Structures are given as structure tokens and as C-alpha cells.
Amino acid sequence: MVMNNGGIRSLVATGLVLREQAPGGSKQRVTLLHVRDGRESQDTRTEHTRRQAEHVGLTRIVELKMEHLYGEGRLPDGGAMGTLAASQTLLAGLATARRMQAQRLVWPASLDGDAAAIAAMTERLMLTEQLAKLELGEQGTPSLETPLLEMTDPQVIELGVSMGMGKLWGLAWSCAGGGPQACGVCVGCRRRRQALEAGGIVEGEAPGKRSRRAG
């Protein structure tokens, strides 16, 4: 089971898992897990997960409704949305993998090579897995895998290109905004542009057109 939120890392991780499958028909054993986390771009992300699945020939997508993660505005004290989002998502993912009898859960997170963030995330992954094992036992707990965790963003792109995804980035959505087109200025859009440009890939419209629309 592969978690897929419609983004670039989801696309690459899905390709990676499919590449591991023996040729000839075992594709149907791969299920995508899509968490609807309540972000503004939610519907667009769901649509891109579906497009990715269709492109690689996967028919099984499980959608989890977790709109409370980002969909309830700011905390009363002004704190950011998404409290414990990664931990909640991972636990729900493990529970779903268990329910679907999946042996493994692949989470496509990557932190652009930030060592401190990777260390913190690794600890969280271990603790989450341990928590699941308390209830499900060693045998009953799907293994939690994060193949992209230690890669930089350009390395993720490079991996995708090496798997023949060089022209598929349009299947992945990165913008955090709720508009029909990527805004070009949010963190998601900037991270995407920097990662792709490092690989010599430039996409999208001319900056002049973008700034005119923004104005």
C-alpha cells in the first residue's frame, strides 16, 4: 500500500513500488491510500491521485477522510493548522494497511535533505511503528517504509526521471492554494519549481503572465 496525495513524491514513490513488482500481473496487489486532509487544494489533489493511478494502471484507491487535519482553521491561540498531522496520518495509514491485509505501507515523505528534520521524522516513524506493534503485535503490524526520506528534492526528481517520468510531472499537483491553476508563489509551488529546475526542467507559463494575474 502506497500513500499518495497527488504530489511529485507520491508519483515517484508509486513508480518505485511498481518497479519492484515482478513483471506480469502483480500490479493489482498495489493499493494507493489517499488521505483527504482538508487543505484548500484537497479536491485537486484527489483528482491528481486518480490521474496518477490511471496512468500507471492501478485501480485500487482507498480514500481516508481526515479533513480535521487542516480543515478547521487556526487554533484559538493562533497556532498553525495540522496539529500532529504526520503522526495521525501514519497511524491511520498503518490501521488501514492492516485492515486491507497489506504487508507494507510506503510513505513518500522527504525533507529535502534537512538532517535535523530527518532525524526527528525517523524517531517519529519508529515510535509510531512501536505504538502500532503494542496493539497489533510484531507479526500483525505492516512495515512502514519511507524510501525517499533521506533524498533531497532534486534527487527525488532525478529518481523519477530515471524511471521514465521525465514528462509526467503534470500528473502531480504541488500547489497549496485552492485555485484551478497553481499559484506559483506558495511554499509547495516554490519547492516544486526549485526541484524541477535543478534537474533542468522548466514548466509553466511566463512570469509576466503569472504576475499580471496575481495583481
Q: Nearest distance from residue 121's CB to Zn ion, in Å? A: 23
- For Zn ion, the closer of residues 178 and 200 by Cβ is 178
- For Zn ion, the closer of residues 79 and 180 by Cβ is 180
Chain residues binding Zn ion by CB under 5 A are: 175, 177, 183, 186, 189
Q: Nearest distance from residue 162's CB to Zn ion, in Å? A: 27
Q: Nearest distance from residue 46's CB to Zn ion, in Å? A: 17
Q: Nearest distance from residue 38's CB to Zn ion, in Å? A: 17
The pairing of strands 32-36 and 143-145 is: unpaired
- Residues present in the chain in total: 215
Residue 128 contacts residue 144 (beta carbons within 8 Å): yes
- For Zn ion, the closer of residues 177 and 199 by Cβ is 177
d(CA 123, CA 100): 26
Residue 82 contacts residue 40 (beta carbons within 8 Å): no
- For Zn ion, the closer of residues 20 and 205 by Cβ is 205
Inter-helix orientation angle 8-20/153-162, to 10°: 40
